Structure formats: C-alpha cells, structure tokens
Amino acid sequence: MRGGRPGESGRAELTLSPQATPTVTPAPRASAAPAAAAPPVTVTLHDCLACSGCVTSAETVLLEAQSVGELDAALAAGRRVVVAVSAASVASLAAAAGVAAAAAAGALAVHLRAAGVSIVLDDADATALALEAAAAEACARFAASERGRAALARHGLPGAAEEAVARAASLGIPNLTGPLPVLAGACPGWVCYAEKSQPAALPHASSAASPQAVAGAAVKGWLAAAVGWGEGEAWVASVQPCADKKLEAVRDAVAADGAAPAPAPSSPPGVDCVLTTMEMDAWLRARGAGLGPGAPRSALDSLAGAAAHAPPTVAAPTGTPDGSGGWAEHVFRVAAARLFGVALPPTLSWTAGRNADARTLALPSPVPGAPPLFTVAVAHGFRNIQTAVRRLGGGEQEGSPAYIEMMACPRGCANGGGQVRGEGALAGTRAALAAVAGGAGWVEAAAAPTPALAARAVVAAVVDRSPAAAAGRAGGVAPSVAADW
C-alpha cells in the first residue's frame, strides 16, 4: 500500500491485513506538547474497495484473502467445498494444455474431486438464470419506456408490454421503469469505474445478478439443503477470468440471504473465495495435476443434477467466443421473440463499430422507413465504455440501443486479466469457446432452466442488489453504492 512512516511528509500509515480489520495511524502533528493518544481510525475492506484513493487494485488488496490458500484451508478443515467453474476459465486452461474445453473440464473435475472438493459445478445453470433475469428486465424497461410503447403500439402489439412487465415482476426484479439504455452489470470492472467516476450511469445498470452471484446464492440458499448439508456447511469457490471478480465476492451485496446492503458484512457471502484462472493453473501445477492429453476425465456437476444426487453429466461449460456470456445477443433474441414475435436465425449479422470491441445489432421494422424495433450494442474495453456512457442521454431516441453489454476487458472475458498468458493464448481461448458455443439455442436454453432450480427464489435473492436498486433505496445516487454485479 502507498503510505509511509508516520510523520514522513505528513502522511498516515495504512495497515491492511485480509484477516484483520485494517487500521490507519494518523501522522503526528508538529506541536510542542505531545497529543493524547487517540484510538486508531478503523477502515474496513469495504471502505477501501469503495474508495478511489490509495486502493485501486483488486489484486493487491485481496491477494491473500482471495487465494488458493483459502481453498486449501477449507479443504483441510473438512468443509463441504463447491467449486463453480466459468466457461472462459475452462477455455483458457484448455488452450494452455492444448486440449479441447471438454477435455480440460473433465480433467479439472477429476483433480478437484481428488483434492476433496464435493461438487465441481458448471456455471451454465447460473448463467441461464442470470441471462433470463437480464432479458426480462431489459424487455420490461423497454416496454415501459415512451419509445417502447410507441413501437409496440405501432405494430399492433400493446399486450406485449404488459406481458414483459409481468414476467419481470414474477422474478422479483425491482427496476422495471429504469432509464434506457440498460447497461449490463455483470462486469465489476466497469461498475467500479461508474461508482467512482460516472455515478449518473448507475441508474442505467441492470439489476440482474452475475452468474457468479447466482451460483453462490443457489448453492447456499437451495442446493446445500437439497443435498442434505447443514446450515453453514457449504463453502463456495469460483474460478473466474478476472481478478476484479474478487471484489464482487466481498461486497455486502453478494450475500446468500438476500438481505439489504449494510455498512459492514451482516451475512455470509454467497461466494467465499474467487480464484483467477492463473491461480487455478498454478494450484494444479503445484500438485503435478495436468490437464493435457492422457489426463483422466470426469464431468462437471450441474445444479439440478447435484441436487438429485445424479452422476455428473455436463461435459464442459457452454459460452460465447468472447467468454462474456452473450448478454447482448441473448437480450436481443428474447426481445425479438417476446415483444415482437420474430423468430431469428442461428447466426446474426452485427454492424461493426469503430473497432472490434464495439458493435450493434438491430431488429429492422417491417414498416418501410421506420426506425429499428429493438437495438442492442456491445462495448468492451474502457474506451468504448466511456463512449457509451457519454451517449446515455440519447436513450429515448428511437433506434438507439436499448441494451448495452459493458465489459472492461478488450475482447471480453476471454481476455480477462486473470487468464493464463502465453503466445497465442487469447486465440486458443476463443477457439475453445467457439467450439462449445456453436449451435446453442439461446432462448430455449437460457429462458427455460430446470424448474427444480426454483428460478424465482434464486434470482430474487440477489437481483435487487444492483447499483441502480441500491441508489433507489438511498433516494439518489451516492458516490459509492454497494453493488451486486
């Protein structure tokens, strides 16, 4: 941490320990008489993560608190450990090992179970729930907007608006009348940027929780009881492509019980520890556990399968070539089907922007000369995010994007800062993701998850913890909002 010895240039000394409450020792003032000793100023980790001052890196603050050491400690303590694995991380490990994603996932499952992990969870079910919540909210907010009502009325579909709002309300989504465009809130990197530098963007943020948050809530709020574990027995780790996901896990918002945000932790986190792909790779190497050709294979667990005590049946996580989850495309397909009754082909034609990380997708109107019915956009990388934020004022203009997929990393989560590095790593990761993403039925797969997952209860437990919802509860946009991504 930046700082210095007390009295040096008038700076205070900041002491941070992931296992203890950090303290600040004020610098002594120049005075003839010694001042009475004052108690140290308490600075919690949550204060640090919300500040734009000395603590600006998730990696430096959470290196020890969110590490493989925590995983080893949980295993050594005999905890019921569940490891949820993201598609982007599996693809990165596969590219590094020179195997297909299914093979890498199978070998990873074997090694984790051999180490004592109870469930190695594919996050596809959690992703499906998160995508469904995101699409339901986007459709409802569009249908409630002035231009949405006009578009639906123009094409004789006024009933679609009521259906969209009712569907979103059934999921417990609170932000049904927020402004357009809706900004995807699954990336903690861009959300932290908005909290610190662009608070006016927060009301636009989606209320939908990230797959990581949904997985943690599902395991602790539903799966643990379904498999017969006692309260508090489950310990959840998540393997993610970005170290900023560690911030997401420690924020008050991501809690297993869905309680309202508090100044300090008031409930167990849904996810106890987040490991980057590189950390998982190092953990495997330290044990001589390879993922390459010839390694033993098993399969990942699914939420529904684990609850039914069924053998693992998931070969590998599915995803999109950029590893970001396909938020914009999924919202587009759901909006086309539910709002306008349009069936789309498997492959869609995006319009390229000024670079490879900016593109739009528009649903043309059957009325000649009319603006598009519905438009989504992708903005990956901070340059494109900044451009999108500057244009937020045009959200009610017909034809402008109703939903924007915002991701801090250029080229999406496949290029996350926590991915395994090396020559051709990104190309290999994207190729592995493309191999398992082809032919996915987006609407069918994500809009109709297994009924046994109790989708409404899982989503409602975390969905109202977004930047926009928290700001609404506070009566305005605060400089820092406890966000659930």
Note the pLDDT tens digit of each residue in 127-151: 888 888 899 999 999 999 988 888 8
- Tokens read off for 374: 């519905």
Is 216 found in the same domain as 119?
Answer: yes
Q: Which of 307, 335, 364 is the last residue of a domain?
A: 307
Domain boundary among 274, 307, 340: 307
Sequential DSSP letters for 113-157: HHTT-SEEEETHHHHHHHHHHHHHHHHHHHHHSHHHHHHHHHTT-
Span 476-480, mean pLDDT?
25
SS3 of residue 14 by DSSP = strand
332 and 406 within one domain: yes
Distance CA 185, CA 195 (A): 12
Both 14 and 161 in one domain: the answer is no
Q: Is residue 277 part of a domain?
A: yes
Q: Could you tell me the pLDDT band of residue 373, with boundaries at 50, 70 and 90?
A: very high
Q: Is the pLDDT of residue 425 over 70?
A: yes
Containing structural domain, residue 156:
138-205+322-415+440-447
Write phi, then psi, for 199 (nearest 5 degrees): -60, -25
Pair 205, 241: CB distance under 8 Å = no
| SS3 per-residue string spanning 79-107 | CEEEEEECHHHHHHHHHHHCCCHHHHHHH
In a domain, 40, yes or no: no
Q: Determine the pLDDT at residue 318.
A: 53
**What pLDDT is attached to residue 313?**
57
The H-or-E segment that residue 264 falls in is none
- Look at phi and psi of residue 411 and say left if phi exceeds 0, alpha if psi is from -120 to 50, else beta: left
For residue 166, being part of any structural domain is answered with: yes
Residue bearing the bigger pLDDT, 449 or 182: 182
**Residue 103 above 80 pLDDT?**
yes
Same domain, 114 and 236: yes
Q: Are residues 170 and 220 in the same domain?
A: no
User: CA separation (Å) from 109 to 94, 146, 312, 436?
Assistant: 13, 49, 10, 17
Q: Burial letters for 183-214: b for 16+ Cβ neighbours within 10 Å, e otherwise?
A: bbbbbbbbbbbbbeebbebbbbbbbbbbbbbb
205 bridge partner residues: 183
Q: Which of 291, 297, 323, 301 lies closest to 122, judged by CA?
A: 301
Q: Give 194-227 pLDDT, tens digit per residue.
A: 888 888 899 999 988 888 988 998 898 888 888 8
| CA dist., res. 158 & res. 269, Å (int) | 42
Say whether both 153 and 278 belong to one domain. Answer: no
Q: What is the pLDDT of residue 107?
A: 94
In a domain, 63, yes or no: no
Percent of the chain with pLDDT over 70: 68
CATH of the domain at 192: 3.40.950.10
Helix (H, G, I), strand (E, B) or coil at 413: helix
Q: Where are the alpha helices (DSSP H) in 156-302?
A: 158-170, 188-197, 211-218, 224-226, 245-250, 277-286
Q: Which of 450, 458, 469, 444 is nearest to 133 (CA)?
A: 458
Q: What is the pLDDT of residue 18?
A: 42
Statement: residue 55 has pLDDT above 50:
no
Are 336 and 300 found together in one domain?
no
Flag whether 461 is in a domain: no
Query: Residue 273's beta-bridge partner residues?
Result: 237
For 77-95, the pLDDT digits (tens) are 999 999 999 989 999 999 9
- Average pLDDT, whole number, for the chain? 75
Q: What is the pLDDT of residue 64?
A: 59
User: Is 410 inside any structural domain?
Assistant: yes
251, part of any domain: yes
Average pLDDT over residues 392-403: 78
**330-365 tens-digit pLDDT:** 999 999 999 999 988 888 889 999 898 999 999 998
Whether residue 286 sits in one domain with residue 224: yes
Angle 247-253-254 from CA coordinates, rounded to 5°: 70
User: Which three-class secondary structure state does DSSP give residue 175?
Assistant: coil
pLDDT for 111 beyond 80: yes
Q: Which two tokens stand for residue 318?
A: 């599915």
Q: Say how many domains are in the chain.
A: 3
Q: Indicate if 253 and 329 belong to the same structural domain.
A: no
- DSSP 8-state code for residue 227: T
112/155: higher pLDDT: 112
**Given pLDDT bands bounded at 50, 70 and 90, which one contains residue 260?**
very low
pLDDT in the model for residue 141: 94
pLDDT of 481 > 60? The answer is: no
**What integer is the mean pLDDT of 380-403?**
84
Together in a domain, 153 and 184: yes
pLDDT at res. 435: 75
Task: Judge residue 334's burial from the number of C-beta atoms within 10 Å of its C-beta, 0-12 exposed, 13-18 middle, 19 or more buried.
Answer: buried
* pLDDT category of residue 394 using cuts at 50, 70 and 90: low
CATH number at residue 92: 3.40.50.1780
Q: Are residues 115 and 9 in the same domain?
A: no
pLDDT tens profile 288-346: 999 999 899 988 888 877 766 666 655 445 556 667 778 999 999 999 999 999 988 88
pLDDT at 7 over 50: no
Residue 366 within any structural domain of the chain: yes
Q: Which of 119-133, 383-397, 457-471 has the lowest mean pLDDT?
A: 457-471
Residue 7 and residue 86 in one domain: no
What mean pLDDT is predicted for residues 384-408? 85
Residue given tokens 């003032």 in the structure block: 29
From the list 261, 254, 287, 235, the residue with the least C-alpha distance to 70 is 235
**Residue-wise pLDDT tens digits, 10-53:** 334 444 444 444 444 444 444 445 445 555 544 444 444 444 34
Which region holds residue 72: left if phi is over 0, alpha if psi is between -120 and 50, else beta? alpha
